[in-house]
Amino acid sequence: MSKKVFTVLLLAVFMLAQFSIASAVAVTGDASITAIPDFSSGTSVDLDWAATGMAAGTKNILVWGREYAAVPVAYDPNDCQLIATIIGTSDASGTFTYDFTTTANLNALATGDQVEFTLSVDDQTCATADVPAIDSVMGVNYVDATAPTYYQGHPPSTAAVAPSLDTAACNTFEYWALARDASIVFADEAYSGFGSWNPQVTGTFAPPAPMGPTSSLLSWTFAFPATATGAWTATIQPEDMAGNMWPGVDHFRNAVNVVPAELEDCADFSDVAGNDNEVYIRYLASLGLISGFADGSFGPDSTLTRAEAATLIEISNGYDDTMLPTSAPAGCDFTDVAASDWFAGWVWQACDDGLMNGVGGGLFDPNNLLTRGQVVTILNNVATSYFANPVPFGGYIDTSNVLLSTFFLPAYPYGGYGYRTAAWTDVSVGAFYAVPVQKAYGWGVAEGTSDTTFSPDQAATRGEFAKMLYRALSIIS
């Protein structure tokens, strides 16, 4: 054998020896993912794992991740992470946080991406371990990398201050907020859903827990006791089910001292205690926007006439009896509205401002009952008329409120108006109230009568109207 051939053979033997030293040795043991959440943030995911059938010696439990592809790609050692090192034959289990940010190929995941995981048992670490088979998938996780988007509703106010620095008109009021997990969700995009508002309060008394903390609508009612004093703060920090949290707390109220007006009871009536709409009725009455009857009642479950609705919406617009027209403006001369009627000026003003129309045939139908569909249509008319000509508007309407800040927006997000959508079975496409219903529900101003019905032709109660008006006039931030 020549010296050259011998040298080549010796080099080959050396290289094989080195390869055998670096290559993994078959290791006995089975590892599996026992639980993994459906969604994770774009940062990390917690997965539960278990290892059984261990042989003697030292073994490493490794987790491998890769982004889903229609045609699977091989797992990459640069996307492998060490879960645990096990010495001996004992079974093992635990929870491991797989960190996307430290991988080569998964550190820039976006909402809707899908990640596949598998586990292996090896005597090597990630860099030199055997790569799992390309068809090995033990767990799948979708990525939601976007924090919720939301807005807040503060009590109606004409104060020219930031909402978080404003005070209430009386001692009982509602803070509310509406959120969705993503501002725009496409049909084929996975997202985790809204998780929690994480509400916090700093003050001199313990408030009630917010209603529906896992819902997209937060309704948070407070009643200041007579002993409330000092600076008071209320915040939220929305979070989705994947753990994405709004960066920093957001204030409903930011260290504002309790003032005497907030210790006074809101206006009250003999028949509203315990009513679902009590807080809205009493607060709006304190602002002078609604009133009760001579006997001290309000009639929260009584129905509302179209003439009464015209009156209430124009009071919110800053009008009083002395400011109303004494004769019908052009286009508002209804045959069933006489100058001697108590409501005549209110009806004429609402018509002239473009807030309410007649019912056809020269009639306004002032004494007919106002329906739920008509209420939201009036509110939509307010927003539409305001942006066409803001001059006739004042009072609580001409403020930075939910109605004027949201109702003018087009179909947003895709698929509906507002942050909420519903498949109403009783709202016909093309009906005069179809779009107003979508807007009012989508922006939190109105609720349905069930998960699938809005009941647009049902007569609205005075209490329902008060709630819709309160929400519509709520100051937004």
132-164 pLDDT, tens per residue? 999 999 999 888 888 888 999 999 999 989 999
Tally of domains in the chain: 2
**Is 106 a member of any domain?**
yes
What pLDDT does 18 receive? 36
Question: Does 275 map to a domain?
Answer: no
Q: For residue 148, what pLDDT is reported?
A: 86
Q: Given a cut of 70, is residue 187 above it in pLDDT?
A: no
In a domain, 33, yes or no: yes
* Mean predicted confidence (pLDDT) in 245-272: 96
User: 323-370, pLDDT tens digit by residue?
Assistant: 999 999 999 999 999 999 999 999 999 999 999 999 999 999 999 999
> Which residue shows structure tokens 């803001």?
390
- Average pLDDT rounded to a whole number, residues 79-83: 98
149's enclosing H/E stretch is strand 149-154
Within this chain, do residues 84 and 177 fall inside the same structural domain, yes or no? no
- Report the C-alpha gap between 400 and 164 in whole angstroms: 13
What pLDDT score was predicted for residue 242?
86
Least confident of 10-14, 28-32, 38-42, 117-121: 10-14
Candidate from 3-17, 57-71, 87-101 with smallest mean pLDDT: 3-17
Look up the CATH number of the domain holding residue 206. 2.60.40
Q: What b/e readout covers 412-423, taking b as 16+ CB neighbours within 10 angstroms?
A: ebeebbbbbebe
Same domain, 162 and 89: no
- Count of H helices and E strands in the chain? 8, 17
Cα–Cα dist 472/284, whole Å: 12
- DSSP-based three-state secondary structure for 169: coil
Cβ pair 139, 45 in contact under 8 A:
no
Q: Contact at 8 Å (CB) between 185 and 414?
A: yes
Is the model's pLDDT at 19 over the cut of 70? no
- Write the DSSP symbol of residue 360: B
DSSP 8-state code for residue 64: E
| Model pLDDT for residues 194-237, shown as the tens digit of each residue | 888 899 988 765 544 443 333 479 999 999 999 999 999 999 99
Span 411-465, pLDDT tens digits: 555 556 888 888 899 999 999 999 999 999 999 999 999 999 999 999 999 999 9
From 143, 172, 195, the end of a domain falls on: 143
CB 219 within 8 A of CB 213: no
Domain of residue 48 covers 25-143
Share of the chain above pLDDT 90, in %: 73
> What are the C-alpha distances in Å from 365 to residues 290, 356, 465?
21, 11, 19
The predicted-structure confidence for 430-444, as pLDDT tens digits, reads as follows 999 999 999 999 999
93 and 138, same domain (yes or no):
yes
In a domain, 444, yes or no: no
pTM: 0.84
Cα–chain-centroid distance for residue 295? 41
